[in-house]
Amino acid sequence: MSKKKLAIKLLRAVWFAFMKKIIRAILCLALFLGLGACKSRHTAEKSGFGDDDQVLRISCTEEFDSLDPRKARSLSTVTLLHMLYEGLMRLDFHGNPAPALASEMKVSPDKKTYTFKLRSSQWSNGDPLTSADFIRTWKTVLDPQFPAPNAYQFYLIKGARAAKEGTGKWEDVGISAPDSNTLIIELNEPAPYFPELACAHFFYPVHASQTAESPIGNGPFTLFNLQHHYELSVKKNPLYWDANEVRLDGVIMQILDEHTALRLFENGEVDWVGSPLAKLPSDAIPALKGQHLLRTANAAGVHWLRTQTLSPPFNNEKMRKAFALAIDRKALVELVLKGSQKPAEGIVPPTIAARSHPYFEDADIPAAWNAFQEALKEMDLSIDDLPEIVYCYPTDDRAHKTAQALQQQWFKALGVTVKLNRMEWQLFSQTVKQGNFQLASGSWFADFRDPINFLDLFKEKGQTTNLTGWENPDYAALLNQSSQESDPVKRMELLHKAEGILLAEMPVIPLYFAVYNYVKDDNLLGVYFSDLGYVDFKYAFFGD
């Protein structure tokens, strides 16, 4: 028998033997999966919602870390919590704190006592929401045993720090409820940003019988469907006190790979890709910009370099200055990052700073060179004796590009070759924490909109946010003084002075102010994109 004939015979035999089984297997599989393939594409996309419903589909990178506002920490979860919950105040469309659950807010003359009157409102299961719900929630947050990562945001309330650290009692905390619709909060110091803080997710109330599977909310939307690591959808909450203002019927958040998400967007299967729930792939940004699809929102965040100020060469202030002035931030932002970031010549982002004047000049090469020579003289070194300088950064595409650009800029301006050390994120973080670095990349994004949020990070050496080993008594004194100042204008002046000290001594070298890049459906309107890194879809709708 020739081999050709044999092959045909063989194939036929294999075909018949397997076909029966295959057909049966495929049928079973199809039946098992509910014949989903036959569904029309449209309903498959808006799983669970009607065809005419206004449903928004967003991509997100990661599973939400918790639906409980007390436990949540990741920035992407904050957007979700703003859908499911409502606090005493809520940032309105222009970003100003506006009454929400509290119908009115009274401030005492010394600006240390806030009295909130609650409006009558309901939980999504119909239970009435009273001041007791707030008290109970906040008591658990300040319980030393309860895992609440954001509990430190309560520390400006009288006695809160002591209660959380176990040295004080809950009864001494300055939170009280004289009746079921009044809340009184006493602060340690006049903090003008407290109303803003009261909008944040860590001050949200939580229902008494809250469980992870069925969270009971009080926000514009309620949980509709949850498939972990795949999809989370919310639908309009008819019991929300301001339900008439909510126009979307639902929001579906899909966990997608960033490249896949862009492909789905291209195909019209997703309406929003990118910040704040996901990242746009950095290699796709120039192309999206070229197609005029890329949108940019300002972020209250700054990317900087930490210097280790306890050991040479960056124990020398002029050396830090030299490296800071040698950086061409404009080139970095426009030619390397290309995401419309803003060069940073200060620490406090322009969306927060009352006054935005530069504290130094960008790419001031002659000044950098002078500072470098003086530093060498002070340290009694020649350029050849300079110890090897290493710049550490995590394995992130953008950090890598930034590092390469900085390396080149420093070499051009100062003739110093900085060694680049790219590290796995956790290792990087640990290295920086232990102070085993000379230059390290870093960033800070505001929790609330006030310069103190940035300046406080470097108040003391031992703070987990400082890590530079730098401290300055004048700086700390100015910050203390500002916290006791009840006149907002004078307070801002003090904070400016403090920022001046920080930038004169440069334990951190600012690089650029962050932005949020995203693409969205043109018809989606009414979205409030906060510079704090979340999006509020309360007023969102699809227009024509």
Partner 1 sequence: MVSFVCTYLLPRLLALWVVITLTFVVMKVLPGDPFNEEQALPASIQKALNAHYGLDDPVFVQYTRYIQGIFSGNLGPSFRYKDLTVNQIIQDGFPISFLLGLEALCIAIMMGGAAGILSTLYAKRWPDLILFGCLTLAVSVPSFILGALFQYVFALKWGLFPIARWGSFSHTVLPALALSALPAAFIARLIRANLSEVLKQDYIRTARVKGLSEWRVLFVHALRNAVLPVVTYLGPLSANVLVGSFVVEKIFAIPGLGQSFINSVLNRDYTVIMGTTVFYSVVLLTLLTLVDVAYVCIDPRLRRRVFA
Q: Which of residues 453-512 bind partner 1 (CB under 8 A)?
A: 463-465, 467
Residue (18 or 411) nearer to partner 1, CB: 18
- The first and second tokens of residue 494, run together, are 């003090």
Give the one residue of 9, 330, 377, 490 binding partner 1; rule: CB under 8 A: 9
89-97, 352-360, 439-447, 505-513 -> range binding partner 1 (CB under 8 A): 439-447
- The first and second tokens of residue 123, run together, are 């939980």
C-alpha dist (Å) from residue 359 to 73, 321, 463: 33, 12, 25
Minimum Å distance from CB 152 to partner 1? 5
Q: How many CB atoms lie within 10 A of CB 293?
A: 17
Of residues 196, 105, 183, the one with CA closest to residue 156: 196
Minimum Å distance from CB 344 to partner 1? 17
Of residues 170, 124, 118, 174, the one with CA closest to residue 143: 170
Q: Which strand (E) or helix (H) includes residue 423?
A: strand 419-423
Minimum Å distance from CB 63 to partner 1? 6
Q: CA angle 403-409-410, nearest 5°? A: 90
Give the one residue of 108, 176, 311, 443 binding partner 1; rule: CB under 8 A: 443
Contacting residues for 371 by C-beta, under 8 A, at least 6 apart: 318, 319, 321, 322, 325
Residue (177 or 390) nearer to partner 1, CB: 390
Contacting residues for 389 by C-beta, under 8 A, at least 6 apart: 313, 416, 418, 419, 438, 439
Positions 139 through 198 that interact with partner 1 (CB under 8 A): 144-149, 151-152, 161, 164-165
Q: Write down how long the chain is.
A: 544
Minimum Å distance from CB 136 to partner 1? 19
Residue (252 or 325) nearer to partner 1, CB: 252
Positions 19 through 48 that interact with partner 1 (CB under 8 A): 25-26, 29-30, 33-37, 39, 41, 44, 47
Positions 233 through 292 that interact with partner 1 (CB under 8 A): 254-257, 259-260, 263-264, 266-267, 269
Q: Residue 442, interface with partner 1 (CB under 8 A)?
A: yes
Q: Residue 3, interface with partner 1 (CB under 8 A)?
A: yes
Minimum Å distance from CB 418 to partner 1? 22
Q: Say if residues 251 and 233 touch (Cβ distance below 8 Å).
A: yes
Amino acid (1-letter code) at residue 150: N
Minimum Å distance from CB 490 to partner 1? 28
Residue (410 or 437) nearer to partner 1, CB: 437
Residue (66 or 181) nearer to partner 1, CB: 66
Minimum Å distance from CB 394 to partner 1? 9
100-108, 345-353, 397-405, 443-451 -> range binding partner 1 (CB under 8 A): 443-451
Positions 195 through 234 that interact with partner 1 (CB under 8 A): 212-213, 227-231
Positions 347 through 406 that interact with partner 1 (CB under 8 A): none
Of residues 439, 438, 443, 441, the one with CA closest to residue 394: 441
Which residue(s) pair with 515 in the sheet?
A: 298
Q: Say if residues 204 and 78 touch (Cβ distance below 8 Å).
A: no
62-70, 325-333, 351-359, 378-386 -> range binding partner 1 (CB under 8 A): 62-70
Minimum Å distance from CB 429 to partner 1? 5
Give the one residue of 426, 473, 543, 544 binding partner 1; rule: CB under 8 A: 426
Q: Say if residues 264 and 490 touch (Cβ distance below 8 Å).
A: no
Positions 323 through 342 that interact with partner 1 (CB under 8 A): none
Phi-psi sector, 375: left (phi>0), alpha (psi -120 to 50), beta: alpha
Helix (H) and strand (E) counts in the chain: 16, 23
| Spatial separation of the C-alpha atoms in residues 139 and 421, rounded to whole Å | 44
- The first and second tokens of residue 403, run together, are 């590092």
Residue (19 or 335) nearer to partner 1, CB: 19
Residue (18 or 93) nearer to partner 1, CB: 18
| Spatial separation of the C-alpha atoms in residues 154 and 140, rounded to whole Å | 12
Q: Residue 108, interface with partner 1 (CB under 8 A)?
A: no
